[in-house]
Structure 1
Amino acid sequence: MITIALKALNANKLKTILIFASLLFSITSIFLISSISNGVISMYSNLLKNDGDIIVTQAKISDTFFSNVDIKLLEKINKFDTTTKSSAIIVGASPVEELPIVAIYGVTSNRFSNYKIAQGNYPKTEEALIGNSIYQSLENKNTIQIANKKFKISGVFKSDIGFENGGVVININDASEIFNKSASMILVNTNYNTNIKKVISDIQKLSDKIEVKSTQNFVDSYNQFKIIQTSSNLIGFISFFLGLLGIVSIMSITINQRKSEFGIKRAIGISTQSIVFQIVLESSILGVLSFIFSFFISNLILILIKNSELFHGYVNGEISIKLAFYLFICSITMSILGAIIPALNASKTDPIILMQGDKI
């Protein structure tokens, strides 16, 4: 049956190419959209998870960019026996030279060790540590303008997290002056086997203006991640629908041109189910091939995006096993649904009418 399906695909080269192209573009677009959104979520999640079991933000805010937490809480949190390290960070954004927007991280000095120095030193007051991908694009490699303040470049760091590698790190006091806030969030590390829920409860009692969560819980419930994921799913659905529409259209034309073939098969006693199965098999083969090609093309594009100076590491894709499996099912489903409607239409038509050449 597979041999017959391959021969049929080869006999209708143009239509086969058109169906394959429709599947390829649809699956590749879903691959890229989903993997890039997953990459963005993964990068920001890792940024938070690398330096804290607990995260403290301002209560009732939709985004960490709008959060403002009193940095003096660090002194009280550090007095807890369960705390091994607590640090504060301000997250902001500012244009830098020709770049329209660059992530700015104002951090406490005990967080500098998170950034691996490639050259130079950690920043002092009115100094900045530059991410490697941003540093490469700067014309002036001695000073950098952030908002209305100029900073001396103290060094360059490298990070596997694109958001950081494409960002600028300064002292939290300098960032506080620029963004007019005390801290965006406080990150807390605890002792091994500590009762996290109790620590969260103890920190929450320090102020009614803060919201305290485990880092994992924060990542799972973060509104911006939900928006990104929902948008990705919506665009992916549109791509799926457009691909499906293209396959149905092309398959209808292809089957209409093969009506005499199906009429003869019906006349010699081949069942409706066998004819439908053959057509679906042909389309499924194209679905599998399109998935394989889409997987490799998507990985190639993601590598190019990751290493492109244009994006400075902010756009990064991540194709997980779960995503690949989901899109494999998506490819097969699209190919089957695209073929089964015109296949049923062809198989149920009277064989005499089919062989006479009337339209299906």
Structure 2
Amino acid sequence: MKIQLTSNKVVYNYCEPYIIAEIGANHNGDIELAKKMIDSAIESGADAVKFQSWTPESLISKEEYDKNQTYNDSKKKHFGSLKDMVEAYYLTKEQHYELAEYCKSRKVDFLSTPFSKEEVDLLENLNVPFFKIASMDLNNLELLKHVAVLGKPIVLSTGMATISEIEKAIETIESKGNRNIILLHCISIYPPEYEDIHLRNIPMLEKTFGYPVGFSDHTIGTSIPLASVALGSCIIEKHFTTDKNLPGWDHEISADPKEMTEICSQSKNISRSMGNFRRIVSKAEQEKKLKFRRSVVASKPIREGHKVTLEDFLFKRPGTGIPPEEVYALIGKTAIRDIQLDKMISWEDFR
């Protein structure tokens, strides 16, 4: 199945993947840092940059804030309470407009993940080409309905979801007349253990639901998202930062510019190399065959009138003469002329 994702990009499994540099909240609330990241993502070859659209009120309940929760695990560089970080890292409405305009001027697709209906409406006003729904909202059916009626493609992450939950989300979107769905295989651990990634879910989800499938990656490095391309991933979404040592939620597991460049360039090479299921010998290989394959040659001088046996022949380059597999048709024939040692045999030499 093919989906028109943007005005100039159709996606389907095994297509050249559409690469999303997921800046998310890695801008750390700094609009100039956000623009620097956009520039770097473009230089790396990404098709789109994506942010996250939420406010302190739309994302987390007061009860959760009142617990004064903090993130203090050693793998991440955080500060203060959960509320402190949410307030520091969210994008205002005005910043959304500024970043969308900046992306337009730089000719890169602007995207963001909405976390409420109001943020869906904001992104619709900004004319995003499609909507990305985070894994955490796959079962937020009212949000899915609100997005679905807009008719634009929906890229749906499936982290933490069972097959039945994915099916319910798809049915909810389809019930509003929207069948422009792309699923993203996703493991919502930052980073996941390799044995928990299950990249074979990419062809499984495509076979199960009939929609194109991509990969939302939370691993460190480039090998796993590149491997996903060989399994048909039509979209790669990868967290992106200009500096993995910056404070914040996702910098450590994000791709830096060097890694993003590798993902963008090598994913295209992998996609082109996949080809199809038909066995095709290219023109270049056909030409090489003439040089590298072998032909039947005389293993010894052959005299006129000699009835040849298999021992009279060897097989040597180039491959422009009688091919080795046809030597058996020569056995028992009589030479009509003298043939020198190592001379390439022709059918006209025998009767």
Under TM normalisation by the shorter chain, which class is it? Answer: under 0.3
Q: TM-score, normalised by structure 1?
A: 0.21
Q: TM-score, normalised by structure 2?
A: 0.21
Larger RCO of the pair (alpha carbons < 8 Å, separation 6+)? 1
Higher share in helix: 1
